């Protein structure tokens, strides 16, 4: 093998290792309890199939769903994202007040995102009794529900 080819192969290998390290570091950073703002971060969490990521998102309510009454009651509604997908919000109504939203209302939500094939779920949108879990909230019409 010519020296130039050896150098090119070595540089290519180094570049591939650096790209792999960068991607690994990025994924590790996104899966930690990091707060994100805007839809770009929830869209990235969807794309990377992330779970247990704390983020903040502002989006319109697409549709109100019936409450989940099995076990702990949760208010449920869908957020419409700019890429055409939706995210389910599951808001624990034993831990925080019900949010008086309707379809079309804009909300800002901070909670824990968990990816699924339907677009994901944001839960833990309420205060926390645990030092092991970051508190969440929903802001609507100038009021914070937590």
How does strand 137-140 pair with strand 106-114?
antiparallel
Range of the domain at 19: 1-31
pLDDT digits (tens, 9 = 90+) for 68-79: 999 999 999 999
Same domain, 1 and 41: no
User: Which two three-digit tokens encode residue 142?
Assistant: 């100038």
Length of the chain: 146
Same domain, 87 and 121: yes
Residue with tokens 């570049």: 15
d(CA 114, CA 50): 6
The stretch 61-73 carries a mean pLDDT of: 96
Residue 56's pLDDT band, with cuts at 50, 70 and 90, is very high
Same domain, 76 and 45: yes
Same domain, 26 and 80: no
Same domain, 25 and 38: no
Same domain, 138 and 81: yes
The stretch 62-87 carries a mean pLDDT of: 96
pLDDT digits (tens, 9 = 90+) for 11-38: 444 444 444 444 444 444 444 434 434 7
- The CATH code of the domain that includes 120 is 2.40.50.140
* Full DSSP string of the chain: --HHHHHHHHHHHHHHHHHHHHHHHHHHHHHSS----SHHHHHHHHHTT-EEEEEEEEEEEEEEEEEE-SSS-EEEEEEEPTTS-EEEEEEETTTSPPP---TT-EEEEEEEEE--TTS-EEE--S--S-TTS---EEEETTEEE-
Partners of 79 in beta bridges? 61, 87
Same domain, 27 and 39: no
pTM for the full model? 0.74
Number of independent structural domains in the chain: 2
Same domain, 107 and 120: yes
Same domain, 38 and 27: no
Same domain, 57 and 68: yes
Same domain, 21 and 51: no
Same domain, 38 and 55: yes
């Amino acid at each position: 093998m010519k020296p130039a080819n050896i150098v090119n192969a070595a540089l290519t290998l180094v570049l591939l290792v650096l790209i792999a390290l960068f991607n690994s570091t990025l994924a590790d950073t996104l899966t930690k309890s990091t707060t994100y703002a805007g839809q770009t971060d929830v869209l990235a969490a969807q794309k990377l199939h992330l779970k247990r990521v704390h983020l903040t998102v502002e989006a319109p309510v697409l549709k109100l769903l019936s409450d989940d009454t099995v076990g702990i009651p949760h208010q449920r509604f869908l957020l419409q994202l700019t890429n055409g997908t939706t995210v389910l919000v599951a808001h624990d109504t034993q831990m925080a007040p019900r949010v008086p939203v309707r379809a079309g209302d804009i909300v800002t939500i901070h909670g824990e995102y968990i990816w699924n094939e339907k677009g994901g779920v944001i839960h833990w949108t309420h205060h926390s009794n645990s030092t092991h879990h970051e508190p969440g909230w929903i802001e609507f019409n100038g009021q914070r529900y937590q």
